[in-house]
């Protein structure tokens, strides 16, 4: 399975490097959303709960674009049929796609977090703040990638995939939004970066574990259908 995951992951990364589509679209949408927040909130800076909510919602909406495009090339160019005929564990595609989407999210966040700090964030971007934000966002990215891969595989089989992804994905990702926002709020507080709340980090980790197991169990059936 490891070799299959490695081959599929290399294919995903090479495809994005040769014809960049997903990352530029996600980054542009995210920056545009931050600009809209900057003017609509009518505030020079935000901190605490509000800052956490703005950042998490922006990243979630940007992730929807990546999820929508995750399986398009495989569907349009016969990649699904070729993979089903290959003598490999079919959950290798789940792992590879989730890892690829996680990588896309990390790259986009490397652009959006500094943009967020420049446009809206009140507290200064210190090293302590950055590593806390990075730790929380990595847990959130894992949940988004797992659920996004599962929903994307389901939606690609329908004609209304652009509608199905947000309709199913957003409700499933509500715990990620709440957990990430609650965990980020102390770090983004104007009084200084507070300690990471272990309870919300545990909730994010548990969410990732549960949905990872669910996705692993049902992904094979999604490919068959």
In this prediction, what percent of the chain has a pLDDT beyond 70? 88
Structure tokens at 56: 């998490």
Q: Is the pLDDT of residue 126 over 70?
A: yes
For residues 8 and 93, the answer to whether their CB atoms sit within 8 Å is yes
pLDDT in the model for residue 9: 80
How confident is the model at residue 179, as a pLDDT?
94
Which DSSP helix (H) or strand (E) runs through 113?
A: helix 91-119
127 confidence band (pLDDT: 50, 70, 90): confident
Distances 104 to 139, 144, 219 between C-alpha atoms, Å: 14, 11, 21
> Which one is predicted more confidently, 221 or 204?
204
Burial 205-221 (b: 16+ CB within 10 A, else e): eebbeebbeebeeebee
pLDDT for residue 84: 63
Q: Which residues of 149-165 are buried (b: 16+ CB within 10 A; e: fewer)?
A: bbbbbbbbeeeebeebb
């Amino acid at each position: 399975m490891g070799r299959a995951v490695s081959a599929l992951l290399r294919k995903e990364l090479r495809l994005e490097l040769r014809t960049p589509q997903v990352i530029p679209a996600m980054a542009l949408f995210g920056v545009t959303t931050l600009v809209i927040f900057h003017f609509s909130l009518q505030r020079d800076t935000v901190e605490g709960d509000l800052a956490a909510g703005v950042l998490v919602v922006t990243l979630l909406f940007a992730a929807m674009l990546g999820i929508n495009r995750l399986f398009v090339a495989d569907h349009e160019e016969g990649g699904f049929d070729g993979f089903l005929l290959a003598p490999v564990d079919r959950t290798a595609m789940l792992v590879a796609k989730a890892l690829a989407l996680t990588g896309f999210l990390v790259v986009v966040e490397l652009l959006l977090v500094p943009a967020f700090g420049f446009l809206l964030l009140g507290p200064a971007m210190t090293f302590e703040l950055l590593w806390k934000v990075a730790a929380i966002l990595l847990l959130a990215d894992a949940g988004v990638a797992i659920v996004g891969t599962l929903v994307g595989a389901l939606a690609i089989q329908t004609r209304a995939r652009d509608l199905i992804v947000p309709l199913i994905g957003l409700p499933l990702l509500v715990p990620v939004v709440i957990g990430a926002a609650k965990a980020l709020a102390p770090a983004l507080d104007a009084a200084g970066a507070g300690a990471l709340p272990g309870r919300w980090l545990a909730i994010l980790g548990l969410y990732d574990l549960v949905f990872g197991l669910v996705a692993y169990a049902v992904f094979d059936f999604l490919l068959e259908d």
